[in-house]
Amino acid sequence: MNASRSCRSWVAPHIAALPRSGIRDFFELVNAMDDVVSLGIGEPDFVTPWHIREAAIYALDKGVTHYTSNLGDIRLRKAICRYVKERFGGDYDPKGECIVTVGVSEGLDILLRAVLSPGDEVLYPSPSYVSYGPTIQMCHAEPVPVETRAEHDFVVQVSDLEAKTTPKTRVLLLNYPNNPTGATLTAADKAALADFAIRHDLLVVSDEIYEELSYVDRSPSIASLPGMKERTVLLNGFSKAFAMTGFRIAYACSTNDIIEAMMKVHQYSIMCASSMVQAAALEALQNGAAGRDEMLEEYRQRRNVIVKRLNDMGLNCFMPNGAFYVFPCIRSTGLDSMTFAKRLLQEQHVAVVPGTAFGACGEGFVRCSYASSIADIETAMDRIETFIASLRKG
């Protein structure tokens, strides 16, 4: 046995090539501190409404501890299809056009594995949620981030998509309302994107996990536009709307063809989403509207507070119409995103996420989550104000 052999790596090259999450090091820094006020948390601060938790407990009491159908309990799928039709638009058959997944993360993973071949290219607006690029790479496909800009309130422009489209482009992956920018699409934006997808014969993957956190009148999902159902996969879930992140439960709706293909991957890797969690999800859809709307109103008010304070102190950001993020520009401070975030953490003990964690074009911005109490938001804003004043003096 020679030495080089004993230290060979067993890790597949395409996994070894994946970047470490951009905020891993930053996370370690934050974790080492005690009195941090964090605006870096991308999940609701609300604990799951009690009636939903109670439904999970009751399911356990009743012995709901077995596998369900691979696609998910049919009662839940029926409720999902009703809910989708009523809230987002789009007609899906619960029997074969809907699958229950373990979070949208799993939905996206099994979908991409079901539709991508090595070398296929996937367009997605950047900055984006951190998993998009790596999930595409794990399918031996090519992530093609398409820059979005503050001047368009971070809505992806068809001309920018056109510029990055090649004969290998196969999927357009959208995430509106957007993490990390809070951007949303108007009906006209959706129509233009649908037209683009049809012209280039692309599959559209619409990750709408933040759709219920919309602060203006919503337009129907891109999946429901004419000619789009057959080329769109709608991904949504319970984490954000019903404060159920730890439950890990979501769904995908599309044509029978695609759902069947997703089901194959899902069945061989996961089997099914956890059964008592599916019971909780059903309860959320049946009786969760009031709790959901109450949380939405609270987010809306926090958004008003944080956007005004950031703009007042010269960190410009637009009024986001969805999700629970603001994405202020920090260029006026003369610092880059990572330095800004690190110094803010070290000097004022406030955590925000550098925009670069979400893609290179996030440089010059930081993500602030307002899924935190108003008291924490106010404290964080006071400290950021102090930090900025100290920069201007120094």
Partner 1 sequence: MERNELKTKILALLERNARISTKEIAERLACEEALIAALIDELEKSHVIMGYSAIVSDLANSSEVLAIIEVEVQPERDTGFDKIAERLGKFPEVRSVYLVSGRYDLRLEVVGSSLQEIASFVAAKLSCQNGVKSTATYFMLKKYKEAGITLNGGGEENERLKIVP
Residues of the shown chain interacting with partner 1 in the complex, contacts defined by CB under 8 A: 21, 23, 26-27, 30-31, 36, 38, 40-43, 45, 47, 129-131, 179, 297, 301-302, 304-305, 308-309, 351, 353, 357-358, 374
Q: Which helix or strand (DSSP H or E) is residue 15 part of?
A: helix 13-16
- Closest to partner 1 by CB, 377 vs 388, is 377
CB 43 within 8 Å of CB 389: no
With tokens 């004022």, the residue in question is 348
Closest to partner 1 by CB, 19 or 227 = 19
- How far apart are the C-alpha atoms of 268 and 355, rounded to whole Å? 36
Matching residue, tokens 């637009």: 318
- Distance of closest approach, residue 130 Cβ to partner 1, in angstroms: 4
Rounded to a whole number of angstroms, the minimum distance from the CB of residue 74 to partner 1 is 33
Contact 323, 300 (CB under 8 A): no
- For the CB of residue 320, give the shortest distance to partner 1 in the complex, in Å: 13
Q: 170 or 367: whose CB is closer to partner 1?
A: 367
Closer Cβ to partner 1, 19 or 334, answer by number = 19
| Least distance from partner 1 to the Cβ atom of residue 31, Å | 6
In the complex with partner 1, the residue whose CB is nearer, 292 or 309, is 309
Q: Which residues have a Cβ under 8 Å from the Cβ of 392 and sit 6 or more positions away?
A: none
Q: Give the separation between CA 113 and CA 108, rounded to whole angstroms.
A: 8
Burial 207-242 (b: 16+ CB within 10 A, else e): bbbbbbbbbeebbebbbbbeebbebbbbbbbbbbbb
**Least CB distance from residue 48 to partner 1, whole Å?**
10
Q: Which residues contact 80 (CB under 8 A, 6 or more apart)?
A: 94, 98, 100, 251, 253, 285
Closest approach of partner 1 to the CB of residue 24, in Å: 9
Tell me, what DSSP letter sits at residue 206? E
Looking at the Cβ atoms of 197 and 351, the one nearer to partner 1 is: 351
